[in-house]
Amino acid sequence: MSLDSIDRVAVLGAGNMGHGITEVTAMAGYDVTMRDIKDEFVEDGYESIAWSLEKLEEKELIDESADEVLDRIETTTDLEAAVSDADLVIEAAPENLDLKHDIFSDLEAYCDEETLLATNTSSLPISDIAEAVDTPERVLGLHFFNPPVKMDLVEVIYGEDTSDEAAEAGYEWVESIDKTPIYVRKDVRGFVVNTIVGPFGGEPAFMVSEGEATIREADATMSHERGYPMGPFELADLTGIDVGYHVRKEGGSPIPPITEEKVEAEELGQKTGKGFYDYEDGDGADYQPDDVDDFDWLRVEARMINRAAFLVGEGVATPEEVDTGVQLGLGFPEGICRRGDKIGLDKVLEKLETLYEETGSDRFEPHPYLEELVEEGKTGEDAGEGFYEYDGDDGGLDSYHDLNAELEDGVLRVELDRPSRMNALSGDLLSEIDDLFSSVDTDEVRCAVIEGAGDRAFSAGADISGFSGVEPTDLMDVTPAFETVNDFPRPVVAKVDGYCLGAGLELALACDLRLATERSEFGAPEINLGLIPGGGGTQRLLRVLGETRAKEMVFRGEHIDADRAEDWGLINRSVDREAFDETVDEFVDDLRNGPPIGLEIAKKVMNEGEDASLEAALTMESQGFGLLTSTDDVLEGTMAFAEDREPEFEGE
């Protein structure tokens, strides 16, 4: 049982999750059969896939036509026909254990004994589902997030009897469909993501129920001050208040009174027109930054961090897996383990102990692993170790958290790694960019390439949640990261695919060359927030575009497409997505094989000459030319030209 043995996939269920999983499976090149119990269900699911693929094709988010993907999808209502030749079956039926038992019993009868059997359950234990078969070692959870086409995360979950071989095959298959898997090594209720999100919604509901906060205070603080994509009450209204209610009830967890009241009144959120906010006669979730007050956010985050300690301490997941899960599955601004280390685990423990002593509620009882970390002095970043080791970072290219970097054949490849936030530039990410380009051994680098993770953005701008609570004077200095990239002694290429906006555009402007796919969009939208570009955007746009076009971009705050950006001179090339990598490689090859000293001097003279008088700039150019004539690279270039061969520059 391995990835190599998976060619055909069957998905059981054509609802939102079933047809979404079918779509991403077919997009990855697999033949897939989607099955449901009624023709109308199958037809609706197939039509949803076709509509989605057409939209993806229009936006150039797939590398082939919608029809080519659809050709790999078959549909049926016959379970045996759907699974008899499948190598992997993914069950995506309603969350009913008896129903799932019936399905898995049939699967054992209809499938080959080597077929991998997976469930997409979000709430039922994998072990309970596996009770229906005689071969539970091949049963695992593959928990996708809704909608599967957009959500990158998949939890790969062990049941009590799941074999390592089965889990590894599932993990590798998830990677093969271009999703990010995390292992959930023990079959705990809520798995990883829902274990963490429970206190995010539950604790504020208790605080409001007890009169210690208002709904707007809680949402405004957690969103605008702490950086979460939305407040806990807005999130509950979006997902359905009854959903969280039933999860708590089934799990035997205490239910906040305000949640119970809403369910009894059938005010379940957006789907009923009213929940914690009024969506019919009111303005919905209308909280604003001004609603931030003295809401006790540490009480909420301490509980989430305590749940993370449970997951790590019980061997369910590593800190890296927990943090990947909440960032990709929930859109958290950073991992909850990382946030705990920043706050200080001793402060977290003290908060929990105080609340536990005051209330006697089990939900505040500190997990032994959290206590152990604090007792050992592993309290977080300031101590050098917490969930993560900080003193152990060797400063190498693998020591960063919000970016990925590798140096191979003289090319420093840098990936902004915050896809769940469209690679928004947080303070931490900017610090890592600054550190990388300041500390890397330039003798080993011929050129650098910066791109964004995921398929939506190079970078959609600054992470504005980081502005909360910051003094205006602290934001008046030029962001060092942009200047560091601008001054880097080797050519830097911005590889733009998708949105390049705000601070993302400023980072691209700090690079020397900018290449983009035709679907990319560029803009300086800060004016729409009452701001102006603050990372050099106003000045670099003036120098690149000239006054007329630069002012149009800054004053209007609108996006321009890649073709216009190329016409204006903002980027070097606008390229069809299929030819993009090849075009970038052509540029990179020229830079990598070029004379390092010559390129360094050329960049320095052009950058500094831009702000000098023509006379001073010409003097710098002449000095640079004279300096280069004494280098071995010039001798090599001259000899190679005379001998009609490619030069081999050594940077000497």
More confident residue, 458 or 391: 458
pLDDT of 468 > 80? The answer is no
Torsion (CA) 192, 193, 195, 201 in degrees, nearest 10: 170
pLDDT of residue 3: 64
pLDDT of 434 > 50? The answer is yes
Coil/strand/helix, residue 364: helix
Three-state SS sequence of 551-614: HHHHHHCCEEEHHHHHHHCCCCEEECHHHHHHHHHHHHHHHHHCCHHHHHHHHHHHHHHCCCCH
Q: By the 8 A CB rule, do 253 and 198 touch? A: yes
Beta-carbon contacts of 251 under 8 Å, excluding residues fewer than 6 positions away, are: 189, 190
For residue 203, give the amino acid letter. Answer: E
pLDDT of residue 534: 86
| β-bridge pairing 492-496 and 513-517 | parallel
Q: By the 8 A CB rule, do 448 and 492 touch? A: yes
**pLDDT above 90 as % of the chain:** 74
Average pLDDT score over residue span 561-585? 95
**pLDDT above 70 as % of the chain:** 96
Per-residue pLDDT of 50-63, as tens digits, reads: 999 999 999 888 88
For the ranges 278-287, 401-410, 612-621, the lowest mean pLDDT is seen at 612-621
Nearest to 90 by CA among 103, 81, 78, 76: 103
pLDDT of residue 472: 43
Per-residue pLDDT of 548-567, as tens digits, reads: 999 999 999 999 999 999 99
pLDDT of 169 > 90? The answer is yes
For residue 121, give the amino acid letter. Answer: T
User: What is the Cα–Cα distance from 509 to 416, expressed in whole angstroms?
Assistant: 16
pLDDT of 183 > 80? The answer is yes
For the ranges 41-45, 114-118, 301-305, 466-470, the lowest mean pLDDT is seen at 466-470
User: What is the Cα–Cα distance from 190 to 194, expressed in whole angstroms?
Assistant: 5
Coil/strand/helix, residue 622: helix
Coil/strand/helix, residue 151: coil
For the ranges 203-217, 357-371, 423-437, 476-490, the lowest mean pLDDT is seen at 476-490
User: Cα–chain-centroid distance for residue 188?
Assistant: 24
For residue 159, give the amino acid letter. Answer: G
For the ranges 128-137, 181-190, 244-253, 476-485, the lowest mean pLDDT is seen at 476-485
Res. 428 pLDDT band, cuts 50 70 90: confident
For residue 74, give the amino acid letter. Answer: E
Phi-psi region of 322 (alpha: psi -120 to 50; beta: other; left: phi over 0): alpha
More confident residue, 98 or 626: 98
User: What is the Cα–Cα distance from 489 to 476, expressed in whole angstroms?
Assistant: 26
For residue 416, give the amino acid letter. Answer: L
pLDDT of residue 464: 65
pLDDT of 398 > 80? The answer is no
For the chain, how big is the Rg over CA atoms in Å?
Answer: 27
pLDDT of 395 > 60? The answer is no
Question: Over the chain, what is the mean pLDDT?
Answer: 91
pLDDT of residue 639: 83
pLDDT of residue 393: 47
User: What is the Cα–Cα distance from 133 to 154, expressed in whole angstroms?
Assistant: 24
pLDDT of 293 > 80? The answer is yes
Residues paired with 237 in a beta bridge:
none
CB atoms within 10 A of CB 629: 8
pLDDT of residue 105: 95
Res. 631 pLDDT band, cuts 50 70 90: confident
Nearest to 348 by CA among 295, 313, 303, 308: 303
pTM of the model: 0.80
Beta-carbon contacts of 627 under 8 Å, excluding residues fewer than 6 positions away, are: 601
For the ranges 348-357, 473-482, 499-508, 555-564, the lowest mean pLDDT is seen at 473-482
pLDDT of residue 630: 80
User: What is the Cα–Cα distance from 229 to 288, expressed in whole angstroms?
Assistant: 13
pLDDT of 648 > 90? The answer is no
Known catalytic residues are 506, 526
pLDDT of 476 > 60? The answer is no
pLDDT of 71 > 90? The answer is yes
pLDDT of residue 208: 96
CB atoms within 10 A of CB 566: 18
For the ranges 372-381, 384-393, 544-553, the lowest mean pLDDT is seen at 384-393
Instruction: Give the Cα-Cα-Cα angle 32, 36, 42 (nearest 5 degrees).
Output: 80
pLDDT of residue 473: 40
Q: By the 8 A CB rule, do 407 and 400 touch? A: no
Res. 391 pLDDT band, cuts 50 70 90: low
Average pLDDT score over residue span 109-133? 93
Peptide bond into 647 cis (omega under 30): no
User: What is the Cα–Cα distance from 427 to 517, expressed in whole angstroms?
Assistant: 27
For residue 152, give the amino acid letter. Answer: D
Domains of the chain, CATH where assigned:
3-187 (3.40.50.720), 193-297 (1.10.1040.10), 299-383 (1.10.1040.10), 403-587 (3.90.226.10), 595-643 (1.10.12.10)
pLDDT of 602 > 70? The answer is yes
User: What is the Cα–Cα distance from 303 to 401, expressed in whole angstroms?
Assistant: 23
